[in-house]
Amino acid sequence: MAKPESRSSARQRGYDTRWEKARKAFLAKPENQFCERCNAAGLLNVGNLRMDGSAQTNPRRIHLVVNHRIPHKGDQRLFWDRSNWEVACPDHHDIRIQQEERGKIRSGTDINGRPLDPNHPWNKA
């Protein structure tokens, strides 16, 4: 059985001191204080909530993340393009966005795969 390819370290992928400074400055802007995906669902989450709105109880997961909307895959232009950055809570980043990137879930659906659009036939009572 073939051994899976090992992933390079975060530092090797560009998440170094320069990134930490840029990330911190990005999150300090007033317009970047909430998870964008929670906000779109009507939830103001500064990183203290799970994506379902319940309180985040793990203190190591109470923060916001800067996510690359389009995975950069080493492309430095995409990596540093701030229009490609979005603010996400750890749940959205670690669960939802990763599922989307792996093709396991489509954008526009909830965590269970149900459409978010209230006018979608599945959401009609």
Query: Distance (Å, rounded) from C-alpha 112 to C-alpha 105?
Result: 9
Within a domain: residue 5?
Answer: no
What is the number of domains present in the chain? 1
87, pLDDT greater than 70: yes
Q: Which residues pair with 49 in a beta bridge?
A: 55
Report pLDDT digits (tens) over 34-65.
Answer: 999 999 999 999 999 998 899 999 999 999 99
Decide if 86 contacts 97 (C-beta within 8 A): no
Q: Model confidence over 8-20: pLDDT tens digits? A: 787 877 789 999 9
Question: Is 50 within a domain?
Answer: yes
Enter the tokens of residue 74.
Answer: 């080493």
Look at residue 3 and tell me whether its pLDDT is greater than 60: no
Say how many residues make up the chain.
125
Rounded to the nearest integer, the mean pLDDT of the chain is: 85
Q: What is the pTM (predicted TM-score) of this model?
A: 0.72
Which residue range is the domain that position 34 belongs to? 17-110
In a domain? residue 123: no
Asked if residue 2 is part of any domain, the answer here is no
At 11, list the tokens.
């530092």
CA dihedral sign, ordered 80, 82, 83, 89:
positive
- Tokens representing residue 87 in the block: 């603010």
Q: Quick one: pLDDT at residue 48?
A: 96
1 assigned to some structural domain: no
Neighbours of 63 (CB within 10 A): 13
